[in-house]
């Protein structure tokens, strides 16, 4: 009887199978307690610079109710600086700082994407900067 032969290293096959299982099952469910750990806030984009070491990234300064933070965001292909400046957006405020291509990011700007492109999450009414998203 012929034996099956793997053409790829075992660890790559396991990674592929894990991704396939994730795709079939859908996103991992979290508890309400997990969700409560997220500190989602309304922030306003005050300044935008192109990342010096990455074509797809912006360095974005946001005001989170009196606190200024830098966020590195991969939205440069979807938005011009002029389109973003002054927008009130939703950020993850309590994400551990991360160094991305030599620049520190102190949060995450939330956006949705599909086959048509990307859309930054914004608020539709006037609301105080730093307001908690529930």
Instruction: Note the pLDDT tens digit of each residue in 27-51.
Output: 788 899 999 999 999 999 999 999 9
Q: Which two tokens stand for residue 72?
A: 């590195």
Which CATH code fits 37-120? 2.40.50.140
Q: Report which of 64, 50, 54, 52 is spatially closest to residue 109, judged by C-alpha positions.
A: 64
Give φ, ψ of 121 to 5 degrees: -75, 125
Count of alpha carbons within 13 angstroms of residue 9, beta-carbon side: 3
* Residue 3 CA neighbour count, 13 Å, CB half: 3
Q: Where are the domains of the chain?
A: 37-120
Q: What is the pTM of this model?
A: 0.78
Percent of the chain with pLDDT over 70: 84
E strand intervals along 74-131: 88-92, 98-100, 103-105, 108-109, 111-114, 117-120
Res 5: pLDDT: 47
Convert the pLDDT of each residue in 96-128 to its tens digit.
Answer: 999 999 999 999 999 999 999 999 999 999 999
Mean pLDDT of 60-76: 97
Tokens in use for 21?
């299982």
């Amino acid at each position: 009887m012929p034996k099956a032969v793997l053409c790829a290293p075992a660890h790559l096959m396991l990674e592929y199978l894990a991704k396939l299982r994730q795709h079939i099952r859908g996103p991992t469910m979290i508890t309400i307690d997990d969700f409560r750990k997220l500190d989602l806030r309304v922030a306003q984009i005050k300044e935008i610079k192109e990342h010096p070491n990455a074509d797809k990234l912006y360095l974005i300064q946001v005001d989170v109710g009196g606190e200024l933070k830098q966020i590195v965001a991969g939205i440069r292909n979807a938005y011009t600086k002029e389109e973003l400046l002054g927008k009130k957006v939703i950020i993850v405020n309590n994400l551990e700082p991360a160094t991305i291509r030599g620049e520190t990011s102190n949060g995450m700007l939330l956006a949705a994407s599909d086959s048509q492109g990307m859309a930054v999450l914004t608020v539709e009414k006037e609301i105080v900067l730093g307001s908690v998203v529930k």
